[in-house]
Amino acid sequence: MASTRGEFSSRFGFVMAAAGSAVGLGNIWGFPTQAASNGGAAFLLVYLILAFTLAYPALMAELIIGRHAHANAVNALRLISTGPATHKIGTTVGVIGFIVAGMILSFYAIVAGWMISFCLASLAEFFGMQAVADWLTSFGMTRNLFFMLIFLVLTVGIISEGVREGIERWSARLMPLLLVSLILLVLYVCTLDGAMEGLKVYLLPDFERALSPKLIIAALGSAFFSLSLGVGTMLIYGSYISDEENLPVVGGLVTTVDIMIAVIAGFLVLPAMYVALHNGVEIFTASGALISEDTLIFTVLPELFATMGLAGIVVSFIFFFLMSIAALTSSISMLEVPVAYTIEEHGLSRKTAVYGIGCAIAVFSATILVNFETLFGLVIAFTTRYSQPILGFMFCVYAGWVWQRDKVLKEVQKGSPQVEHTLFWKIWPWYVKLVCPVVILAIFAQSLWGG
Ligand code: TRP
């Protein structure tokens, strides 16, 4: 079966692809300010513990199910089902998963399009084309539609090439580029006046804030989004791993790279914000919290770059280039979910499936743009706050309850014959059976009632 499907050629290729999926806009625009506003180094510590004790086991559930079935989420959940009821529920979960993955991509493409347009705006400014730069950085329907489409064309182009030639090749090229540009920016920004103040805010530990239950649950939610869990992305990537690969180790590498990049991004974003403050830019909201997410990226940072002259133009170009790359290696992992399903379930060729689904997502994205005020926030909340936790819960239930434990063990043993005697096997089955589902439900309850 594996020979007719794609497969990653090496451990490096898989880790770059899965880390590429994980490292996205969430890492750079969400994590650093969340850490700084919520206890600094203490939050980092809590986040690290949560990521390894809860998000990593959920990631392993998806990877193991995927590798076992060497198939998309729908077929994989059916394969491990034990009766008609679990068969039906598995099908439903898989189908909802690919619809949600498509919906996440449709809002992600809009935001990623802005990253590309801001990146080009720096070039325009460099060449003195101020009017073009202004058009590229102001919120307008034509600009929004155009760059959303450009971004989707890039995503479709990569996915149409398949697993090895598309996903693996481009992730292995873009991820090192992302890391290098990130480190260059960190080194430069940390030399500017005000940067040290930002580092202090980022790193000074405040345990009281970091240990509040509400915050811990919020941090766990970010860890789940950051590791791309819940919609079958990691399950699909797992299905392309060879049977000789040691799953607990590669899953650990992916988790580590994801967290490492989020932490490094903090060394860029917080110092940059305090340099901005030093240069007279407002970095706090009316309630006194640090400005975060889209306002941070599209208002605060551009205002900072504008105070820095020529250096600002170069830094701005590298920064938005980096954001575009981070978004692209994530978006390809979202598109692969419906594409793999359509190819395997309906026998379409990869190209037909990719173009068809790409068009459908473009139409949905355009619909969101036309009704931006009502739909944009709604689609984000529906997918990330509600659908992801419920689907993530279901994957854990299938790995922990539906699938028999000795069969799971056999699968993990394929690439790691000694696994039965490791700490991983002593802990993981219980985690995925009890701890993960309970905690995921807690996150869900918090997002429903916690405001
Ligand atoms: N993890 C990515 C980020 O941090 C986003 C992402 C990629 C994603 N694939 C996903 C989120 C699947 C949810 C589901 O930005």
- DSSP code at position 6: -
Q: Would the pLDDT of 270 be above 90? A: yes
Q: Is the pLDDT of residue 1 over 70?
A: no
Question: For the residues 16-27, what does the mean pLDDT come to?
Answer: 95
- Please write the tens of the pLDDT for every residue from 115-141: 999 999 999 999 999 999 999 999 999
Query: Which ranges of 287-308 does DSSP label H, i.e. alpha helix?
Result: 293-295, 301-306
Is the CB–ligand 1 distance for residue 122 below 6 Å?
Answer: no
The response to whether residue 24 sits with its C-beta less than 6 Å from ligand 1 reads: yes
For residue 200, pLDDT over 70 is answered with yes
In this predicted structure, what is the pLDDT of residue 2?
A: 39
359's tokens: 């068009």
Task: In whole angstroms, give the CA distance from residue 312 to residue 260.
Answer: 26
**90 in contact with ligand 1, CB cutoff 6 A:** no
Q: How many Å is the Cα radius of gyration of the chain? A: 21
Q: How far, in Å, are 163, 233, 357 from residue 353 at the CA level? A: 14, 17, 6
Residue 3, pLDDT score: 42
Tens digit of each residue's pLDDT (9 = 90 or more) over 300-310: 999 999 999 99
Distance CA 436, CA 17 (A): 25
Residue nearest (by alpha carbon) to ligand 1 atom 11:
228
DSSP conformation letters of 201-268: HHHS--HHHHT-HHHHHHHHHHHHHHTT-SSSHHHHHHHTS-TTS-HHHHHHHHHHHHHHHHHHHHHH
* C-alpha 178 – ligand 1 centre gap (Å): 16
- Cα(22)–Cα(349) distance, integer angstroms: 27
pLDDT value at residue 451: 56
pLDDT of residue 389: 87
Indicate the average pLDDT of the chain. 94
pLDDT at position 30, please?
A: 85
- The finding on whether 333 has its CB within 6 A of some atom of ligand 1 is yes
Task: Report residue 4's pLDDT band, with 50, 70 and 90 as the boundaries.
Answer: low
What domains can be seen in the chain, in order of their start residue?
9-449 (1.10.4160.10)
Distance 227 CA to ligand 1 centre (A): 6
The yes-or-no verdict on residue 163 having pLDDT over 90 is yes
Judged by phi (left if over 0) then psi (alpha if -120 to 50, else beta), residue 70 lies in: left
Q: Is 225 in the pocket of ligand 1 (CB under 6 A)?
A: yes
So what's the pLDDT on residue 195?
Answer: 97
**Is the predicted pLDDT of residue 229 greater than 50, yes or no?**
yes
* 398 CB-near residues (< 8 Å, 6+ apart): 61, 65, 77, 80, 86, 90, 93
Q: Write out the two tokens for 21.
A: 């999926």
Distance 22 CA to ligand 1 centre (A): 6
Distance CA 266, CA 33 (A): 8
421 CA distance to ligand 1 middle (Å)? 33
Q: What is the mean pLDDT of residues 272-279?
A: 96
Q: Which of 217-231, 278-292, 411-425 has the lowest mean pLDDT?
A: 217-231
User: Which atom from ligand 1 is nearest to the alpha carbon of 21?
Assistant: 7
Report the nearest atom of ligand 1 relative to the CA of 27: 4
CB of residue 98 inside a 6 A radius of ligand 1: no
Closest CA to 58 of 399, 442, 330: 399
- Atom of ligand 1 minimally distant from the CA of 22: 1
Give start and end residues of each alpha helix (H) in 23-55: 25, 31-37, 41-50
* DSSP for residue 451: -
Place of tokens 């090439």: 161
Which tens digits make up the pLDDT trace of 80-101?
A: 999 999 999 999 999 999 999 9
Cβ(334) – ligand 1 distance below 6 Å: yes
- For residues 58-69, give the mean pLDDT: 96
Among the residue ranges 188-202, 204-218, 337-351, the one predicted with the least confidence is: 204-218
Residue 38: predicted pLDDT? 86
**What is the average pLDDT across 52-68?**
94
> Which atom of ligand 1 is nearest to 333's Cα?
9
pLDDT at 210: 83
% of the chain residues with pLDDT over 70: 99
Q: Is the pLDDT of residue 37 over 60?
A: yes
Q: What pTM did the predictor assign?
A: 0.95
Which residue's CA is the closest to the ligand 1 atom numbered 14? 228
**Separation of CA 327 and ligand 1 centre (Å):** 9
pLDDT of residue 13: 97
Query: At CA 436, angle to CA 431 and CA 437, rounded to 5?
Result: 125
Helix, strand, coil in percent for the chain, rounding step 5: 80, 0, 15
C-alpha to C-alpha distance for 13 and 227, rounded to whole angstroms: 17
* Residue with CA at minimum distance from ligand 1 atom 10: 228
What does the pLDDT average to over 327-332? Answer: 98
**CA quadruple 414, 330, 59, 66: dihedral sign:** negative
Whole-number pLDDT of residue 243: 96
Nearest by Cα to 38 from 270, 276, 269, 215: 215
